Each structure stands twice: as C-alpha cells, then as structure tokens.
Amino acid sequence: MHEVSIVQSILRTLEREFDQEDIERIVQIDLEVGVFSNVEPILLQNAFEAVKTTTGKMKGVRLHIDVKPIKVYCSDCQRESLIEDYRFICHACQKPCTNIVQGAELLIKRVHFED
C-alpha cells in the first residue's frame, strides 16, 4: 500500500527532526496534501492508524490533512488559475496550461506538541 510507505516516511522525517523526548509530546500532525499528489486523504488516515497499531509509535496522535486544490500559472497572462475536474486550462486565455504551482505537494505543515 502506497500510503503506508508515505506514513513511514513522515515518521522517519519527524524522528530525524526531533528528539525522542519531543516525539513523545506530539499530539497532532498537520499535513498539506495536494489534489494532484496522488494521495487519498482517507487512505492516508487509514494507513496512519495501521502504522500506529503495528509499530506502537505516535499513540494518541491525530493526523490532520489539509487538501490543497490544483493551481496553475499561465506565463502568457501571468495569472494563476484554480483547476477543477482536472481541466488544465488558464481561466484568462482559455489555453491549456500544465504549469502546476500548487496541488502536487505532500508536506508536513505543522507539528503540535502538548504543553
């Protein structure tokens, strides 16, 4: 399952960035997941629960996922357009545009610790 390896890589990133002491104080992880990132938020949530259960890590930690829509930048119009239904078109000139500036990301936006 693709999502399990994503969760594992998130945990590896956190373990690299923080001391064990801090890791144990994490209560919530905020992720930004682009619509175009090929990740299903619900599958990612399920994978997170599965990894928690199997590894015993991140017990009691919530995963918050912010889904980011796709935005493209048209260099002709120098404008950004929001993409719906995967129609990659500049809203200003109606030309095809695949220069994605948002929506392909998968990143850890914020980690919340208990006081």
Question: Helices 2-17 and 41-55 sit at what angle, rounded to 10 degrees?
Answer: 60
Q: Is residue 101 within 8 Å of 34, Cβ to Cβ?
A: no
Options 76, 99, 108, 110; binder of Zn ion; rule CB under 5 A: 76
6-14, 24-32, 33-41, 87-95 -> range binding Zn ion (CB under 5 A): 87-95
Options 92, 100, 104, 111; binder of Zn ion; rule CB under 5 A: 92
User: Residue 91 Cβ, how far from Zn ion at the closest point, in Å?
Assistant: 8
Which of 60, 62, 58 is CA-nearest to residue 14?
58
Residue 62 or 95: which CB sits closer to Zn ion? Answer: 95
Other CB atoms within 10 Å distance of the CB of residue 81 = 21
The site map against Zn ion for 17-56 (x = CB under 5 A) is ----------------------------------------
Q: What is the C-alpha separation between 99 and 115, in angstroms, rounded?
A: 42
DSSP tag of 103: S
- Is residue 74 involved in binding Zn ion (CB under 5 A)? yes
User: Residue 97 Cβ, how far from Zn ion at the closest point, in Å?
Assistant: 6
